[in-house]
């Protein structure tokens, strides 16, 4: 009998496993696929390793004629090989790390029985408490010819890059993978089912991000709902509303994700779920007191991101079975859509007594230096003169949003910032201009 069995070895499950082990509990982790979960094997890490190559080329292109000459070309096959070399060893390293720490690793598909036992590929295990950390998987459209649609995993594993690639959806999956395909030389189209906009992001910054993608040569088709995919001798034909048709070689769905709850047989334990995942309270406890959930599998309003899953894993690791557990209290959470030009957002941008300031930073020295093509920052400031939110587009938006996140979370004032010396010229040395 274990104290805790964690189902899923993604960033959330791992953070929790190590915390509970450090508290001397008997812990097991169950995994049905690659140890480490989505982020290192199929998500954040493989996409950003490949993006580094695309970024390097675009940064060089930005300086073309300004001291740089000659052209660079991206080779998909070696870019993919580099990704495999960096990310492939991760699963084995994760497994070895767990074993070395004395955490039991159980390989296979987990499923509950009515007596609160866990069956993993026919073997039965039990624990005092279980934590569901099973993440999510790509949502697939149910349309005619759906078998010709691919998800992000298929795209990232392509040995050769097709000439014409079409992405469905303008979420981060579609927008980021489209830039990898375009950077490596494919003709790329993104199809949006509604008007062109990027959900949750500031309208103006989102529009600037889409305009930048168009300037790179990515084509957009808006208000198109694809209803059929047909295979022909030349490739694929997509059919949509209003007589829309498009010939293409390869289609990638970036139409959201579904929680991995269906395999677990949660109904027999009275665990409440919705189509968005496991329903939990502010202690991450489900409607069955012996079952908790964390990470992407949870139905929640905070974003489904790696650091959020890790935060929840650490939270449970510190609070499970403590006499006075604290309620989970999320800090401000930054989100980034990557690319050479990145879009990033944190905190709030409107509200009572909040003033919004807009800066076109493309003429600032830090941005001129790298010939950043689109650089804008919107910040929100409260009546205490503290930053409470920001929306950013630039080559360095990911770094800037993290710095602003620290300022917001720690309520750093301009006076406090002025007491610090930060290396110049860097993105940090501009921070006091935003107040
Ligand atoms: C293409 C892509 C790019 C992304 N890029 C970023 C990014 O740049 N930054 C970012 O923060 N986030 C990014 N994400 C999101 C990030 O990957 C997830 O938020 C994160 O991995 C969630 O962690 P988790 O621990 O909740 O679940 P997961 O990492 O999904 O882990 C869950 C694990 O549970 C296992 N499992 C499921 N069911 C069972 C079962 N019945 N039995 C046993 N095991 C089971 C799965 O095999 C999986 O390994 C990206 C996602 C994708 C798809
Ligand atoms: N940079 C990052 O942090 C990053 C990168 C990639 C993925 N992720 C995470 O992965 C998850 C999934 O991302 P995603 O982009 O797949 O999902 P998403 O939910 O963010 O976006 C889905 C998109 O698909 C569109 N859509 C839905 N149905 C459609 C249809 N029938 N036809 C065309 N378009 C349709 C939606 O309008 C939306 O634009 C998110 O939780 C995200 O946080 C994060």
| CATH code that applies to domain 2-138+258-319 | 3.50.50.60
Q: Which residues are annotated binding-site positions for FAD? A: 48, 134-136, 296
**Distant-in-sequence, close-in-space partners of 413: CB < 8 Å, separation ≥ 6:** 384, 385, 386
**Mean confidence (pLDDT) of the chain:** 96
265 contacts 288 by C-beta, under 8 angstroms:
no
Ligand 1 contact via 316 beta carbon (within 6 Å) = no
222 contacts 194 by C-beta, under 8 angstroms:
yes
Ligand 1 contact via 8 beta carbon (within 6 Å) = yes
Q: How many CA atoms lie within 13 A of 65 on its CB side?
A: 2
**Total Cβ atoms within 10 A of residue 87:** 23
Q: With H, G, I as helix, E, B as strand and everything else as coil, classify residue 412.
A: coil
The continuous run of DSSP H or E covering 123 comes out as strand 123-125
Decide if pLDDT at 197 tops 80. no
Q: Which long-range contacts (CB under 8 A, 24 or more apart) does 156-160 make?
A: 156/42, 156/46, 156/47, 156/50, 156/80, 156/83, 157/80, 158/76, 158/80, 158/250, 159/77, 159/80, 160/76, 160/77
pLDDT > 90 in the chain, percent: 97
Q: With H, G, I as helix, E, B as strand and everything else as coil, classify residue 375.
A: coil
Closest residue to atom 2 of ligand 1, CA basis: 43
Ligand 1 contact via 300 beta carbon (within 6 Å) = no
Strands (E), 136-218: 136-138, 149-150, 164-168, 187-191
User: What span, in angstroms and rounded, lies between the C-alpha atoms of 13 and 404?
Assistant: 28
Closest residue to atom 7 of ligand 1, CA basis: 44
pLDDT at res. 67:
93
Decide if pLDDT at 131 tops 80. yes
Ligand 1 contact via 170 beta carbon (within 6 Å) = no
Using the structure block, give the residue that is written with the tokens 């993978």.
Answer: 177
Give me 95's structure tokens.
């497994």
Q: Where do the structural domains in the chain lie, given as residue ranges?
A: 2-138+258-319, 146-255, 341-434
Q: With H, G, I as helix, E, B as strand and everything else as coil, classify residue 362.
A: helix
Ligand 2 contact via 307 beta carbon (within 6 Å) = no
User: What span, in angstroms and rounded, lies between the C-alpha atoms of 113 and 264?
Assistant: 9
- Please write the tens of the pLDDT for every residue from 24-55: 999 999 999 999 999 999 999 999 999 999 99
Beta sheet of 245-248, edge-to-edge order: 226-231, 236-240, 245-248
pLDDT > 70 in the chain, percent: 100
Closest residue to atom 27 of ligand 1, CA basis: 135
pLDDT at res. 85:
97
- Please write the tens of the pLDDT for every residue from 246-289: 999 999 999 999 999 999 999 999 999 999 999 999 999 999 99
pLDDT at res. 199:
76
Strand partners, 125: 118
Decide if pLDDT at 216 tops 80. yes
- pLDDT (mean) for 357-371: 96
- Please write the tens of the pLDDT for every residue from 390-403: 999 999 999 999 99
* 232 DSSP assignment: -
Decide if pLDDT at 167 tops 90. yes
402 contacts 379 by C-beta, under 8 angstroms:
no
Q: Given ligand 1 and candidates 17, 39, 336, which is best to mutate, with the most ligand atoms within 8 Å of its CB?
A: 39
As for the ipTM of the complex, it is 0.98
Q: Which fold has domain 341-434?
A: Enolase-like; domain 1 (3.30.390)
Give me 271's structure tokens.
């665990």
Q: How confident is the model at residue 301 (pLDDT cuts 50, 70, 90)?
A: very high
Q: How far is CA 1 from CA 27, 104, 131, in A?
A: 10, 12, 15
- Please write the tens of the pLDDT for every residue from 303-328: 999 999 999 999 999 999 999 999 99
Whether 146-255 and 2-138+258-319 are alike in CATH topology: the answer is: yes
Q: How confident is the model at residue 115 (pLDDT cuts 50, 70, 90)?
A: confident
User: What span, in angstroms and rounded, lies between the C-alpha atoms of 419 and 14?
Assistant: 39
Decide if pLDDT at 198 tops 90. no
The burial of 48, by beta-carbon neighbours within 10 Å (0-12 exposed, 13-18 middle, 19 or more buried), is given as middle
What single string gives the DSSP state of each residue in 310-328? HHHHHHHHHHTT-SSPPPP
116 contacts 107 by C-beta, under 8 angstroms:
no
User: What span, in angstroms and rounded, lies between the C-alpha atoms of 112 and 55?
Assistant: 45
Closest residue to atom 12 of ligand 2, CA basis: 256
CA angle 398, 403, 408 (to 5 degrees): 120
pLDDT at res. 196:
75
Ligand 2 contact via 176 beta carbon (within 6 Å) = yes
| CATH code that applies to domain 146-255 | 3.50.50.60
Global pTM?
0.97
């Amino acid at each position: 009998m274990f104290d805790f069995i964690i189902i899923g070895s993604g960033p959330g499950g791992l953070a929790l496993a190590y915390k509970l082990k450090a508290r001397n509990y008997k812990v097991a982790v169950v995994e049905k696929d690659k140890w480490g979960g989505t982020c290192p094997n199929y998500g954040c890490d493989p996409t950003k390793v490949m993006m580094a190559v695309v970024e390097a080329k675009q940064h060089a292109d930005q300086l073309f004629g300004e001291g740089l000459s000659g052209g660079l070309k991206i080779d998909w096959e070696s870019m993919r090989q580099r990704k495999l070399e960096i990310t492939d060893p991760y699963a084995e390293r994760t497994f070895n790390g767990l074993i070395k720490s004395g955490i039991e690793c159980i390989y296979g598909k987990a499923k509950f029985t009515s007596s609160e036992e866990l069956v993993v590929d026919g073997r039965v295990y039990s624990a005092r408490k279980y934590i569901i950390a099973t993440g999510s998987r790509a949502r697939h459209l149910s349309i005619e010819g759906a078998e010709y649609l691919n998800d992000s995993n298929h795209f990232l594993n392509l040995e050769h890059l097709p000439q014409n690639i079409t992405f469905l959806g303008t979420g981060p999956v579609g927008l980021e993978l489209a830039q990898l395909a375009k950077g490596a030389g494919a003709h790329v189209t993104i199809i949006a089912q509604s008007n062109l906009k990027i959900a949750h992001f500031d309208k103006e910054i989102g529009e600037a991000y889409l305009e930048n993608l168009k300037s790179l040569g990515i084509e957009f088709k808006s208000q198109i709902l694809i209803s059929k995919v047909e295979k022909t001798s030349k490739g694929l034909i997509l059919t949509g509303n209003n007589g829309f048709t498009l010939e293409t070689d390869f289609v990638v769905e970036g139409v959201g994700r579904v929680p991995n709850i269906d395999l677990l047989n949660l109904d027999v334990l009275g665990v409440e779920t919705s189509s968005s995942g496991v329903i939990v309270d502010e202690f991450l406890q489900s409607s069955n007191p012996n079952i908790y959930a964390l990470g992407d599998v949870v139905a929640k309003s905070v974003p489904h991101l790696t650091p959020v899953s890790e935060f929840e894993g650490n939270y449970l690791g510190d609070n499970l079975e403590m006499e006075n557990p604290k309620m989970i209290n999320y800090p401000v959470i930054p989100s980034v859509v990557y690319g050479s030009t990145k879009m990033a957002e944190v905190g709030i941008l409107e509200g009572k007594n909040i003033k919004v300031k807009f800066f076109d930073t493309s003429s600032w020295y830090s941005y001129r230096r790298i010939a950043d093509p689109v650089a804008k920052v919107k910040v929100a400031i409260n009546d205490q003169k503290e930053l409470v939110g920001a929306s950013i587009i630039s080559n360095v938006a990911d770094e800037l949003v993290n710095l602003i996140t620290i300022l917001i979370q720690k309520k750093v004032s301009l006076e406090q910032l002025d007491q610090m010396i930060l290396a110049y010229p860097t993105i940090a040395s501009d921070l006091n201009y935003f107040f």
